């Protein structure tokens, strides 16, 4: 199953490289299957779809996907409170539940007897991990499912897992040395912590530590951190993106062009206000549908922001790709009665590559909200007035609220700044 061609590893090469027509027919079939299955077997979906006036027979294919409501995390939480433990989303025979996972907030999730989800296995292969590798899994095995999902994925690719979990760095450094561990799964920051621990113990990072490849996730991976780890340990670090409810939604291959969307998940990027898909190359919220027949998630919102990449990747994978995750849809600020989300401000600035860094400041004068985009430039622009005017027009166009632009010297905006800083006082 695993292709071991140099630097081009696939979990299932035929599926990952199939042409567009075949792929869309296949996705269509899988979507309809899960939709009908959920409609017929899940109490929660029966309720959700009926209350939205959705008839089973009217959903004929993927083209009708946008008519289905978006499922938010709070909907799931609310339904679990009233219908414990799975909120009626489960479609699994209770006798076939292998584990009940408990996510933060006491959100229960059923685990299959046989895990069928190959999305993380695809991610492992994308990171270059392969049959016969020895991989430490430093994700936490307690309560929540993520470590188990990856554990199963290691089995799928025919490699060996060492279930170390998080913490205990001294012991983990020793384990890596003694067992000649060549693969790592965990957060990038924990990989850095382990590296520093090994150094502190006097281990030679290139001789005593044999790590070759890492699949990291669950937090942002700054390029500077990736570079540091890769050069210190002479290894490659690739990231994957996903959630425990949906599975893996994107992973990097050796080329790092973007996040390849795995074969068995349907990912959309939508306008969070309307639930409609945005065009390729435009920023929006990631919403996904998995094809699980035990705990199906249909159009579940992640709260994460990205875009579908317009380019293709040299590795040969033909499925769609996400760009990196740019942030969360959180704490929108209301300016003159209109919500402004950090992602919308990003969208404005994404049109101006001249901008190095920016921050939106909201103040209030004479009982009127004032929105100022404070920007630092990479280098001086030839006509600053015109440049400011262009951004101001984009602000009005994209945010529908007037804003002004103030150019400040490099270093003015603090390193750890809030994207939208609300300085209004309401006393
Ligand atoms: Zn690729």
DSSP 67: G
Q: Global pTM?
A: 0.81
**What domains appear along the chain, each with residue ranges and CATH number?**
1-329 (3.40.50.12780), 333-422 (3.30.300.30)
What is the model's pLDDT at position 2?
43
| Residue 124 alpha carbon to ligand 1 centre in Å | 13
What is the model's pLDDT at position 3?
41
What is the model's pLDDT at position 6?
45
Q: pLDDT band for position 336 (50/70/90)?
A: confident
| Residue 313 alpha carbon to ligand 1 centre in Å | 5
| Residue 324 alpha carbon to ligand 1 centre in Å | 13
| Residue 256 alpha carbon to ligand 1 centre in Å | 7
Q: pLDDT band for position 44 (50/70/90)?
A: very high
Strands 420-422 and 355-365: parallel
318 CB contacts (<8 Å, ≥6 apart)? 16, 17, 18, 19, 20, 23, 312
| Residue 315 alpha carbon to ligand 1 centre in Å | 4
Coil vs helix vs strand at 330: coil
| Residue 253 alpha carbon to ligand 1 centre in Å | 5
| Residue 260 alpha carbon to ligand 1 centre in Å | 7
**Contact call for residues 201 and 193 (beta carbons, < 8 A):** no
pLDDT tens, position by position, 283-319: 899 999 999 999 999 999 998 889 999 999 999 999 9
| Residue 320 alpha carbon to ligand 1 centre in Å | 10
| Residue 419 alpha carbon to ligand 1 centre in Å | 31
What is the model's pLDDT at position 168?
92
| Residue 116 alpha carbon to ligand 1 centre in Å | 23
**C-alpha triplet 131, 135, 139: angle, nearest 5°:** 135
The residue with tokens 């996040």 is 259
Average pLDDT over residues 159-188: 96
pLDDT tens, position by position, 196-248: 999 999 999 999 999 999 999 988 888 889 999 999 999 999 999 999 999 99
| Residue 425 alpha carbon to ligand 1 centre in Å | 49
| Residue 206 alpha carbon to ligand 1 centre in Å | 27
What is the model's pLDDT at position 364?
86
| Residue 160 alpha carbon to ligand 1 centre in Å | 25
| Residue 422 alpha carbon to ligand 1 centre in Å | 40
Average pLDDT over residues 71-77: 91
Q: What contacts 24+ positions apart, CB below 8 Å, involve 311-316? A: 311/257, 311/258, 312/257, 313/253, 313/255, 313/257, 313/258, 313/260, 314/255, 314/257, 315/8, 315/253, 315/254, 315/255, 315/257, 316/8, 316/16, 316/17
Q: Which two tokens stand for residue 349?
A: 């600035």
The C-alpha atoms of residue 121 and residue 130 are separated, in whole angstroms, by 10
| Residue 254 alpha carbon to ligand 1 centre in Å | 7
Q: pLDDT band for position 327 (50/70/90)?
A: confident
Mean pLDDT of the chain: 92
**Contact call for residues 176 and 207 (beta carbons, < 8 A):** no
| Residue 346 alpha carbon to ligand 1 centre in Å | 26
pLDDT reading at 49 higher than 50: yes
| Residue 16 alpha carbon to ligand 1 centre in Å | 10
What is the model's pLDDT at position 7?
53
The C-alpha atoms of residue 385 and residue 406 are separated, in whole angstroms, by 10
Count Cβ atoms below 10 Å from residue 380 Cβ, excluding itself.
Answer: 9
> Percentage of the chain with pLDDT > 70?
97
What is the model's pLDDT at position 4?
40
Range with top average pLDDT, 6-15, 254-263, 335-344, 359-368: 254-263
Q: pLDDT band for position 1 (50/70/90)?
A: very low
| Residue 18 alpha carbon to ligand 1 centre in Å | 14
The C-alpha atoms of residue 155 and residue 178 are separated, in whole angstroms, by 22
pLDDT tens, position by position, 97-109: 999 999 887 889 9
| Residue 258 alpha carbon to ligand 1 centre in Å | 7
| Residue 12 alpha carbon to ligand 1 centre in Å | 14
pLDDT reading at 46 higher than 90: yes
What are the phi and psi torsion angles at 101 (to 5°)? -90, 150
Neighbours of ion ligand 1 (CB under 5 A): 253, 255, 313, 315, 317
Report CA-CA distances (Å) from 153 to 147, 294, 383.
10, 18, 54
- Look at the chain and count its residues: 427
| Residue 231 alpha carbon to ligand 1 centre in Å | 22
pLDDT tens, position by position, 252-291: 999 999 999 999 999 999 998 889 999 999 889 999 999 9
**Contact call for residues 123 and 172 (beta carbons, < 8 A):** no
**55 cis-preceded (ω within 30 degrees of 0):** no
Average pLDDT over residues 360-385: 92
């Amino acid at each position: 199953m695993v292709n071991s061609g140099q630097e081009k590893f696939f979990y299932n090469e035929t599926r990952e490289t199939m042409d567009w027509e075949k792929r869309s027919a296949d996705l269509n079939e899988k979507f309809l299957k899960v939709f009908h299955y959920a409609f017929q077997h899940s109490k929660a979906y029966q309720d959700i779809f009926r209350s939205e006036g959705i008839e089973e027979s009217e959903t004929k294919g993927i083209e009708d996907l946008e008519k289905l409501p978006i499922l938010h995390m709070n909907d799931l939480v609310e339904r679990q409170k009233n219908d414990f433990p799975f909120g009626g989303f489960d479609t699994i025979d209770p006798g076939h539940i292998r584990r009940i996972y408990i996510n933060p907030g006491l959100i229960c999730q059923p685990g299959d007897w046989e895990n069928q989800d190959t999305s993380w296995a695809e991610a492992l292969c994308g990171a270059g991990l392969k049959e016969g590798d020895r991989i430490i899994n430093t994700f936490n095995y307690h309560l929540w499912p993520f470590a188990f999902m990856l554990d199963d994925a290691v089995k799928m690719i025919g490699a060996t897992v060492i279930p170390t979990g998080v913490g205990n760095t001294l012991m983990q450094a020793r384990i890596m040395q003694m067992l000649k561990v060549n693969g790592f799964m965990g957060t990038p920051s924990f990989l850095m912590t382990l590296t520093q621990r090994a150094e502190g113990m006097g281990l030679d990072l290139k001789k005593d530590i044999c790590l070759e490849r890492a699949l990291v996730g669950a937090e942002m991976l700054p390029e500077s951190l990736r570079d540091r780890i890769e050069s210190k340990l002479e290894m490659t670090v690739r990231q994957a993106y996903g959630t425990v409810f949906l599975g893996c939604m994107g992973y990097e291959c050796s080329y790092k062009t973007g996040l390849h969307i795995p074969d068995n998940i349907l990912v959309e990027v939508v306008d969070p206000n309307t639930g409609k898909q945005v065009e390729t190359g435009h920023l929006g919220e990631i919403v996904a549908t998995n094809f699980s027949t035990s705990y199906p998630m249909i159009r579940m919102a992640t709260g994460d922001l990205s875009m579908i990449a317009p380019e293709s990747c040299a590795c040969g994978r033909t499925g769609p790709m996400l760009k990196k995750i740019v942030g969360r849809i959180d704490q929108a600020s209301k300016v003159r009665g209109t919500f402004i989300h950090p992602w919308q401000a990003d969208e404005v600035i994404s049109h101006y590559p001249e901008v190095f860094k920016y921050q939106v400041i909201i103040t209030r004068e004479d009982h009127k909200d004032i929105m100022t985009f404070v920007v630092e430039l990479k280098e001086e622009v030839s006509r600053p007035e015109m440049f400011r005017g262009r951004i101001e027009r984009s602000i009005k166009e994209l945010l529908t609220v007037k804003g002004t632009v103030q150019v400040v010297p490099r270093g003015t905006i603090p390193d750890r700044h809030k994207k939208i800083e609300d300085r209004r006082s309401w006393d």
